[in-house]
Structure 1
């Protein structure tokens, strides 16, 4: 009798655990084609009036909120995969060359180039970059095999590295919003909400976007996801806005 009770209790606990970890699937509320070829990441300007978008072709663009190109930096890089903007600079990460480029605002003049060496595969290096306000560091994410985050100081010097284990199959973008890190996985087609101090997953949502490589938040706190292959922006309601 006791064995039966224990078995039933174990099944209930297992079912409850599976239910608690169930990932919610989101549907886009809108999608728009944009002028930027192969957009590999997106970032809002500090005033929220435009987007900075980088291309696999090695270009940095500023667009309006609909994705129409306003201007292009006088620069061509090598496999641009991540972008972050604050009120003074736009940072562009080149996966192939392992370099971070700093462009001065407001004229998008290249001010500084910093190399961050990494010996992994040519196409398995840096894919996500943002400023982690909770720790006061830049977080630079290695795509996969293995998943790593490098923490950089204000001079873009590496001060720490953390193996993220099996957090996701890959990381294709990163941003900081509302006191959390938010990571995008192309292969998992998932958005992860992550604790910014220990990089543990707090929540996650599956999205139906092919080759999702850019993640940002609009002024309402909703998700914007860039599809590299389809050259589109997808818009999703953030479920946490309704909590």
Structure 2
């Protein structure tokens, strides 16, 4: 009986401990995507209004630039080429930005179909998350439909080639989760966030399976996630906040 009670309350205690550590470190209107650069030890954030920001890990805004009338939903850093990759959701395209100057370098289209199945819906509910791993781009679709339906909530894998005008889908991951609003890698593990389900899910790329799921607070609109090298978690909240949870990964 005692063991059953302990088992019942352990998840609740974990949630209390996890979110006791959360802290709002910055306020950015409609924050929709975030990534961390280990070279500059800083965060890059985008919002729905087409603005790109650079922040310290403590939340101080270092730079900001309005890039244009874009619906920016995700940002990822290409450390090797000193570039930032931004998702413009309405066009299902990547805006390539110089990391140092914040100038737009080029734009790359993303193919919507894979094996004659239309996985990415044109316009809203398109790509919401982006992560670069071993020269492949992982992009998540926010759709609330499940694979194999058209416009399904899946993660598409793109062959990352800067010289191309359009990136082809070379494979998919179907975690059977709706509304995947953000992606990031920490070491060899893919982390995805579901805004609808208020969960963060870790996925083993090598084993092709989910290895852990943790609940997040439902009071936030989680649109993007990132980890620094210390395992601290950063969340872009669409309600206008940047959250930090220390030592999420120990």
Question: What TM-score do the two structures reach when normalised by structure 2?
Answer: 0.78
Shift of 1:65: 1.9
Deviates further, 66-75 or 53-62 = 66-75
The one-character-per-residue Cα deviations of 1:84-140 (angstroms, maximum 9, x if unpaired) are: 01321111001111110111132122111011143526321101111123xx41111
Aligned length: 219
Rate the CA distance shift 1:185–1:28 in 2: closer, same or farther, 3 A: farther
RMSD (Å), alpha carbons: 2.5
Q: Where do 5+ consecutive residues of structure 2 fail to align?
A: 113-119, 146-151
Q: Does 1:187 align with 2:196?
A: yes
State the partner residue of 1:103.
Answer: 97
Partner residue, 2:215: 206
1:1-243 → structure 2 map (5 Å cutoff): 25=15, 26-73=18-65, 75-87=67-79, 88-118=82-112, 120=121, 122-133=123-134, 136-144=135-143, 145=145, 146-155=152-161, 157-162=167-172, 164=174, 166=176, 168-197=177-206, 199-208=208-217, 209-238=219-248, 240-241=249-250
Alpha-carbon distance in structure 2 between the residues aligned to 1:81 and 1:121:
14
How far the C-alpha of 1:143 sits from its partner, in A, is 1.2
Cα drift, residue 74 of structure 1: 5.1
- CA 1:199–1:183 in structure 2 vs 1: closer, same or farther (change >3 Å)? farther
- CA deviation vs aligned residue, 1:155-196 (integer Å, no higher than 9, x gap): 162141426162x22101101112111101111111111122
Deviation at 1:49, TM superposition (A): 2.2
SS in 2 for 1:96: helix
Q: Deviations over 1:52-95 (max 9, x none)?
A: 00001111111222323221235124211111013211110011
Q: Distance in 1 between matches of 2:61 and 2:105?
A: 22
Moved over 6 A (4+): none
Please, which runs of 5 or more residues in structure 1 have no aligned partner? 1-14
Distance 2:175 2:24 in 1: 34
Q: Distance in 2 between matches of 1:74 and 1:56?
A: 11
Q: What is the CA–CA distance in structure 2 between the aligned matches of 1:233 and 1:193, rounded to whole Å?
A: 19
In 1, Cα distance between equivalents of 2:229 and 2:223: 20
Larger Rg, first or second structure (1 or 2):
1
